[in-house]
Amino acid sequence: MKQRQRKLTGIFATVGFMILYSLAAMAIGGDWVVGRSPAAEAGFYLVAGVAWLPVVMWIIRWMARPDPTEG
């Protein structure tokens, strides 16, 4: 797959992942965290706010790979 195709695929993968991730974080936070102590809420928001980074970083790294040279 050429870099141009990887970038298009990566955009859709990133947007799709972020939509699903945010819905899951909202559901988990609403059911298990909201209404508990402020420290529990702050801890959840801290973890949930950073947990998506490794996945998106992997997608971006995959998108940015150079095309293999032929020859």
Quick one: pLDDT at residue 69? 79
Q: Tell me the mean pLDDT per 10 residues along the chain, length 71.
A: 94 98 96 91 95 97 88 56
- 2 Cβ contact list (under 8 Å, min separation 6): 67
The confidence score (pLDDT) of residue 71 equals: 56
What phi-psi label fits residue 48: left (phi over 0), alpha (psi between -120 and 50 degrees) or beta?
alpha
Q: What is the pLDDT of residue 70?
A: 67
